Amino acid sequence: MSATRDKFGRPIVVVTGMGVVTSLGAGKADNWAKLSAGESGIRTITRFPTDGLKTTVAGAVDFVKVEPFSSTELSERLADMVVEEAIAQSGIGGKGDFPGPLFLAVAPVEVEWPQRRALGAAIGRDTEIDYDQMLRVSGGGQFASLHRRYMFGSVADHLADTFGTKGSPISLSTACASGATAIQLGVESIRRGETDAALCVGTEGSVNPESLIRFSLLSALSTQNETPTKASKPFSKNRDGFVMAEGAGALVLESLEAATARGAPILGVLAGCGELTDSFHRTRSSPDGKPIIGCVRNALADAGMTPDQIDYINAHGTSTPENDKMEYLGISTVFGDLAGKVPVSSNKSMVGHTISAAGAVEAVFSLLTLEHQRIPPTINYDVPDPAIPFDVVPNTARDARVTSVMSNSFGFGGQNASLIVTGEPI
């Protein structure tokens, strides 16, 4: 076995570039400074009127302006930012010439209200508006740009064009696990020997009225609006839902062999990926926790590691009553006595839930944890839930020796994915 292959004989996959943007700011430096200081990016929503809404807080990325607002447009802009940062750090390829495929986690796409209103306006004041009338005015080319904008593949197409990724770019959704799935697809392609490099991105720009209302109608969101920075409280007894947030994360993955050959910075190793589907319910986890347990075990098996080798768990930790309870059940079943000892914190306490991007954003934060040897806290941990006796790294970051991190992502539709990142090859 050569030093560039893992114990299973597969090419070792490393990270050579990362980019991140969240409600805390743009770039790794700003995000890490605020994350390790325990700052929250959650604010009262100002992008649109919140009259009549049960939830009025979010982790919106308002410092990136999109007019007229479109979530898909914002997703594209955020993805641009993080890919640029990741490729610059990696130093891979030439300008607009990334030497590998793109795997993009992106929210499902559809025509949005500002654009739908433009159709309504085109119909004219004296005509009853319905979809037949909208169809009548949709053609003739006056809305031609909306076709491209609302193709599901449009964000990936833009990234492929801008950064010159190779082959057919893949847009994917595994709900809240999407970012992790994008990374898993990249890892698998390098392990198959198809490519030496892959660009894995997750992006989310979904703070718009209808998306927020959809989650609200499922009772998934926190309604503790009074102090926005306090709304996201993973693992707390008084947690009452997640906080929608925007952001993006990008990773340049390479085979260790290729990265070493070109003298690239090696930021960490993607040691293992696991997934397992839950068939219990559309939005709820199987009460026995078996799919989550199996997912975590699959990630450990894929990395060839045992629970005692995990120094820190970057939790899915959404702050919903259901998720945090089920995550504890899953982790405690696999980790046994270690579950009370290994630090488990949730970045979502600070940046909110970046949904499609979360797996990628949190993978970046996991790698920054390795780099800085400092574990970001779970903030707003004032009322511990006795049913979840994790060491949540409460409220204040902690210096620690961290050689390996597990990052979990669980989502609607029975989606479960776990990643393991390490400082050195295992």
Partner 1 sequence: MTEPNSSSTPVEAWITGIGLATSLSDSLDANWAALQDGRVNADETGFAPYVVHPLAPVSFDAQIPKKGDQRQMEAWQRIGTYAAGLALDSAGIKGNKDILSRTDMIVAAGGGERDLAVDSAILNAEAQGNTAPGFLNERLMSDLRPTLFLAQLSNLLAGNIAIVHGVTGSSRTFMGEEAAGVDAVRIALARIAAGQSDIALVGAAHNGERKDLLVLYEFGGFNLKDKYAPVWARGAQPGFALGSGGAFLVIESRKHAEARGAKPFARLSSVVADQSRRKQPGDITRTLESLWAKLGQLGPDGAIITGATGAEPATAEERAFLGAHPEFAVRATGTSFGHTVETQFPLGLALAALAISRGEMFPPNDPGGLEIEKAGAPSQIVVIGTGHWRGEGMALVEAVR
Residues 385-424 that bind partner 1 (CB under 8 A): 411-415
Orientation of helix 28-36 relative to helix 358-372, angle to 10°: 80
Phi-psi map region of 263: left, alpha, beta (phi>0 left; psi -120 to 50 alpha): left
Should residue 111 be labelled a site residue for partner 1 when binding is judged by CB under 8 A? yes
Should residue 285 be labelled a site residue for partner 1 when binding is judged by CB under 8 A? no
* Calpha distance 263→324 (Å, rounded): 41
Should residue 287 be labelled a site residue for partner 1 when binding is judged by CB under 8 A? no
Should residue 341 be labelled a site residue for partner 1 when binding is judged by CB under 8 A? no
Should residue 192 be labelled a site residue for partner 1 when binding is judged by CB under 8 A? yes
Give one DSSP letter per residue of 35-74, joined into a string: HHTT----EE--SS--TT-S--EEB--TTS--SS--HHHH
Residues 180 and 359: beta-carbon distance below 8 Å = yes
Should residue 122 be labelled a site residue for partner 1 when binding is judged by CB under 8 A? no
Minimal distance, residue 235 CB to partner 1, in Å: 26
Catalytic residue, from 158, 176, 200, 295: name it: 176
Minimal distance, residue 156 CB to partner 1, in Å: 6
Residues 55 and 212: beta-carbon distance below 8 Å = yes
E strand or H helix that includes residue 154 = helix 154-163
Annotated catalytic residue 147: no
Should residue 233 be labelled a site residue for partner 1 when binding is judged by CB under 8 A? no
Task: Closer to partner 1 by CB, 347 or 415: give it.
Answer: 415
For 264, the token pair is 């690239």
Q: Which of 47, 152, 322, 338 binds partner 1 (CB under 8 A)?
A: 152
Q: Are strands 398-399 and 374-375 parallel, antiparallel or unpaired?
A: antiparallel
Minimal distance, residue 328 CB to partner 1, in Å: 22
SS3 category, 159: helix
Minimal distance, residue 273 CB to partner 1, in Å: 10
Q: Tell me the residue type at 138.
A: S
Minimal distance, residue 384 CB to partner 1, in Å: 31
Should residue 153 be labelled a site residue for partner 1 when binding is judged by CB under 8 A? yes
Tell me the site size for partner 1, rule CB under 8 A: 89
Minimal distance, residue 392 CB to partner 1, in Å: 29
Should residue 280 be labelled a site residue for partner 1 when binding is judged by CB under 8 A? yes
Task: Closer to partner 1 by CB, 218 or 261: give it.
Answer: 218
Task: Closer to partner 1 by CB, 106 or 421: give it.
Answer: 106
The residues near 353 (Cβ < 8 Å, ≥ 6 apart) are: 59, 176, 232, 242, 243, 244, 245, 318, 319
Should residue 384 be labelled a site residue for partner 1 when binding is judged by CB under 8 A? no
End-to-end CA distance of the chain: 13
The residues near 65 (Cβ < 8 Å, ≥ 6 apart) are: none
Annotated catalytic residue 176: yes
- Does residue 101 have a cis peptide bond before it, meaning omega lies within 30 degrees of 0? no
Task: Closer to partner 1 by CB, 38 or 291: give it.
Answer: 291
Should residue 2 be labelled a site residue for partner 1 when binding is judged by CB under 8 A? no
Site for partner 1 in 32-61 (CB under 8 A): 49-54
Should residue 279 be labelled a site residue for partner 1 when binding is judged by CB under 8 A? yes
Should residue 175 be labelled a site residue for partner 1 when binding is judged by CB under 8 A? yes
SS3 category, 95: coil
Looking at residue 177, what DSSP letter applies? T
Instruction: State the catalytic residues.
Output: 176, 316, 353
